[in-house]
Chain A
Amino acid sequence: QMQLVQSGAEVKKTGSSVKLSCKASRFTFTQRRLHWVRQAPGHALEWMGWITTVTGDTNYSQTFQDRVSITRDRSMSTAYLELSSLRSEDTGMYYCARSGSYGDYVFDSWGQGTPVTVSS
């Protein structure tokens, strides 16, 4: 069964940046889009953007466009999310998720999540 394994918890200061990773195993990394989705306390899931693992093309939510960068390392089967200018509202759980089996925005497999805490 395919797996997405994410990096560990992060604690950051406001104004700094964070970079999270998402390693894929047991599926062909280069045949899917990988997305990042945030779950902040008391908020709906928020889609942040995707990367096409074959070409490295990206598409970002307008909400995060100015602060987010999604990259991938094909040799490592790993995708990365970097979020800059962190503020307290960025505190939450960050998930990577795969799409493509059932639709471009149907998330058929999820990582275990990475908790990010932002404080001053």
Chain B
Amino acid sequence: QSVLTQPPSLSAAPGQKVSISCSGSNSNIGKNSVSWYQQFSGTAPTLLIYDSHRRPSGIPDRFSGSKSGTSATLDITGLQTGDEADYFCGTWDDGLSAAVFGRGTKLTVL
């Protein structure tokens, strides 16, 4: 069981919007910022969002993040077939003194 909880899978049609949730606790998301990573099959993760809502250079503004309390959300608008990937949230956990991640959400663009 992961410290951060994500839905295992989501699907949506091209052009639609999808929201991926990441639920934690007061010792992790409640106190620290959240990062989001995209991982295509057979490749390493890449950073999408940091500081809960900021994008590194080169990441399209179709990807946005937010945080409220002990939960965070990654929104993807204008879905493209190329967005099919696994999406992970991550943060620091003060109680565990460790970086922690969700188990990932597999996004299917139908």
Contact = CB atoms under 8 A, between A and B. Distances in A.
A103 B51 contact: yes
Contact of B47 (A35, A106, A112): A106
Give the interface size class of chain A: 20 to 34
Interface centre among A37, A105, A112 (most CB of B within 10 A): A105
Contacts of A105: 35, 90-92, 99
Give the interface size class of chain B: 20 to 34
Interface in A68-96: 95
Chain B contact surface mostly: strand
B28 to A, nearest CB: 11
Contacts of B56: 101-102, 108
Interface of B: 2-4, 33, 35, 37, 43-47, 50-51, 54, 56, 88, 90-92, 96-104
29 contacts: A44-B2, A44-B101, A44-B103, A44-B104, A45-B45, A45-B104, A46-B101, A47-B98, A47-B99, A61-B96, A61-B97, A61-B98, A62-B96, A62-B98, A63-B98, A101-B56, A102-B47, A102-B56, A103-B33, A103-B35, A103-B50, A105-B92, A105-B99, A106-B35, A107-B35, A107-B90, A108-B47, A108-B56, A112-B44
